Amino acid sequence: MYDERHVLVIFPHPDDEAYGVSGTIAGQIAKGTPVTYACLTLGEMGRNVGNPPIATRESLREIRKRELFEAAESMGLEDLRMLGYRDKTLEFLDDGVLKQLVLNLIDELNPSVVISFYPEHGVHPDHDATSAAVRDALAEIDSTKRPRFWGIAITKDDPEIEYSVKPFINQKISTIKAHDSQFGTMFREYEKRYLAGEQEVSERLENERFHVYSFDDE
């Protein structure tokens, strides 16, 4: 894991951090690095309301908020920002709203790296709206002062950065489990496979991977 001044994580949904970044967040916090996680919505349009259904859209908002608090606690994260935008609407926000939000966070926190989805490779419209805002915000900052941009890419191979988060695997598993309304049933199976020592599962879970975004002026 790298030495950082401050890590800023920006995702649209509670749970976006769980599989790809929670080991990094826990690891950086363990090293004493300040970490801020800005979560733009409360995921009330999430695909799972439980089976049998445990929630309406409104109560899902409250449930996911609680789950996100629990996830933050699992990672040791103290600076959690819930921005409260409506789920599945980020792409319809006025131009520049999210970009300004990202610029304000960078201005306030002076991070050395910003982690989000990788532009145009997030699959979900909220993911791509978020990463576009991060990219556009960072592009406005002078290249000598610009934090690095690491993206989680769902549809792009060969990440430039990959490292083990195995020392923080218990925290990572707790973080995933905290998002019970979304991952509960699925993860219980996955965890069994992990505990049984299945190589492919260990490989996925114990390593985190990022694509480094390059700006035109670099």
Residues that bind Zn ion (CB under 5 A): 13, 16
**Tokens describing residue 144:** 């000598």
Which two tokens mark 132?
Answer: 């576009």
Query: Nearest approach, Cβ of 87 to Zn ion (angstroms)?
Result: 9
Burial of 143 (0-12, 13-18, 19+ CB in 10 A): exposed
Q: Could you tell me how far CA 82 lies from the centroid of its own chain?
A: 13
Q: Minimum distance from CB of 169 to Zn ion (Å)?
A: 22
Beta carbon of residue 198, minimum distance to Zn ion (angstroms, whole number): 25
**From the CB of 12, what's the least distance to Zn ion, in Å?**
6
Residue with smaller CB distance to Zn ion, 4 or 21: 21
Query: Helices 57-75 and 169-178 meet at what angle, rounded to 10?
Result: 170
Q: Which residues contact 6 (CB under 8 A, 6 or more apart)?
A: 33, 34, 35, 36, 109, 110, 111, 112
Choose between 13 and 99: whose C-beta lies nearer to Zn ion.
13
Query: Is 13 or 64 the residue whose CB approaches Zn ion more closely?
Result: 13
If the CB atoms of residues 90 and 109 are measured against Zn ion, the closer one turns out to be 90
> Closer to Zn ion at the Cβ: 43 or 111?
43
Least distance from C-beta 126 to Zn ion, angstroms? 6
Question: Beta-strand (E) ranges in the chain?
Answer: 7-11, 35-41, 79-85, 113-117, 148-152, 161-164, 207-212
CA distance linking residue 172 with residue 25, whole number of Å: 9
Q: How far is CA 61 from the centre of its chain?
A: 18
Residue 33 or 42 having the CB closest to Zn ion: 42
Residue nearest to Zn ion (CB): 13
Closest approach of Zn ion to the CB of residue 19, in Å:
11
Distance, C-alpha 6 to centroid of its chain: 15
The Cβ of residue 206 has, within 10 Å, a number of other Cβ atoms equal to: 17
